[in-house]
Copies of this chain bind each other. A is one copy, B any other.
Amino acid sequence: MFTMKDIAKEAGLSQPTVSLVLNGHYSICAETRKRVLETAERLGYRRNEIARAIKTGKTNVIGIIGGLQGGYSLDIITGIAEACAASGYFMKLLPVNNLENDPDALGQAARQCVEHRVAGVICRSLKEHALDTLRAELDAMHIPIVLVDSSSHHDWCSRVVSDDFAGIKEGVAFLLKQGHRKIVQVTSPLNLEYARIRADGYLAAMRESGLPVSEDMICEIDTMLELSDNDKHKLAGFLKTNKPGAVICGSDPVAMKVLRICHEMKIAVPDDMSVIGFAGLDYTNFSSPPLTTVEQPFCEMGAKAFELLLRHINGDQKIYDVKLKTSLIIRDSTGKAKEKMVLLEK
């Protein structure tokens, strides 16, 4: 493993000169320049980012803190990755999975970011209180943080999310256009912040259209992918009571459960009932029928998060709160309302 010193010796020059050439300074005459580059090439020199970092005090590495689960995290990371690469940055992955069991896991990840002198941190959807640990650790070292896909906003750090409120409203609008009036929501427990926001979007959309709506028209079920007996009872009861023409779900997993229950209850989707999901996860392509869903721009969210982080790294102190537009993917789980003709007549 050759160093600049080796090149210098080979080329009969001083080591700092080699450094200058290799960093593209123009104060070096073409002749020496050429000699240095040739020897570097010949020896197969590879610059040592570590040594550079220790001197400059800066690394071109950002930390990615957050669980790896969830299906969509890969898209977020992909988005970050592309933006990173374009700016010559690298990602160090700090997976934090067992936040519930180990409350200090996050603090540890943050400390590791500091120890590795990352230039900044992108952090995904963490529980409220956990963030304080993060903040305490990173703020002290002036390492900027950007939150991505985090339901709650803070005035001390930037954040990138999808505009779920608008997204749900778009979904409802689509259902309305299809002639649906009896629209209900099935969603994850409302104490989850994202679920609450999407519920509010649903309520607002309905009210703005002058349709009757109440919290009773929202059914909360587990976030787990598996359909429990509890879920089944609750959902079946809810659907029987409300006899909705359409269901706008708070998430894709929930939508999958709805689809499954419909199948069991012999409710034909979309003929008897339309279903819309939320997220745009891979598997919604493969449900039966393929799910109409509000797609969150995960990739763009990742890219935007990096863009903001880079600004902060470069000294921008402003706090941003970016909401990215969702887009409705229309597939086969939605159709025109049966009662449409009637409604159009009145």
Closest Cβ of chain B to A244, distance in Å, is 21
A286 to B284, CA, bound (A): 8
Q: Whole-angstrom distance between the alpha carbons of A298 and B61 in the complex?
A: 27
Does B287 contact A49, Cβ atoms closer than 8 Å? Answer: no
Interface residue from B74, B93, B115, B116 paired with A73 (Cβ < 8 Å):
B74
A73 to B90, CA, bound (A): 18
* Choice from B77, B91, B263 contacting A92 with Cβ under 8 Å: B91
Stretch at the interface among A50-58, A160-168, A170-178: A50-58
Q: Give min CB distance, A112 to chain B, whole Å.
A: 7
The reply to whether A81 and B95 form a contact with Cβ atoms under 8 Å apart is: yes
A95 CA to B74 CA, complexed, in Å: 12
A81–B81 Cα distance when bound, in Å, is 17
Assembly CA distance A114 to B115 (angstroms) = 21
- Which A residues, 34 to 93, have Cβ-Cβ distances below 8 Å to chain B? 44, 46-51, 53-54, 59, 61, 64, 68-69, 71, 73-74, 77-78, 81-82, 85, 90-93
Chain B residues whose C-beta falls within 8 Å of the C-beta of A47 in the assembled complex: 115
By the criterion CB–CB under 8 Å, are A81 and B54 in contact? Answer: no
A18 interfacial contact with B, CB 8 Å: no
- Contact yes or no, B54 A51, CB < 8 A: yes
Interface presence of A117 (CB below 8 A): yes
Report the minimal beta-carbon distance from A273 to chain B, rounded to whole angstroms: 16
Query: For the complex, is A341 an interface residue (Cβ under 8 Å from B)?
Result: no
Decide: A117 and B48 in contact? CB cutoff 8 A: yes
Taking a contact as CB atoms closer than 8 A, the residue among B50, B78, B141 that contacts A116 in the complex is: B50
The smallest beta-carbon distance between A27 and chain B, in angstroms, is 24
Nearest to A105 among chain B residues (CB) is: B85
Please, which residue of chain B has its CB at the minimum distance from the CB of A111? Answer: B46
- Residue of B at shortest CB range from A46? B114
A279 within 8 A of B: no
26 A-B Cβ contacts within 8 A? A46-B115, A48-B117, A49-B116, A50-B53, A50-B59, A64-B93, A68-B81, A69-B78, A71-B282, A73-B74, A74-B74, A77-B93, A78-B95, A81-B93, A81-B95, A82-B95, A90-B93, A90-B116, A91-B93, A92-B93, A93-B93, A225-B285, A282-B282, A283-B283, A283-B285, A286-B287
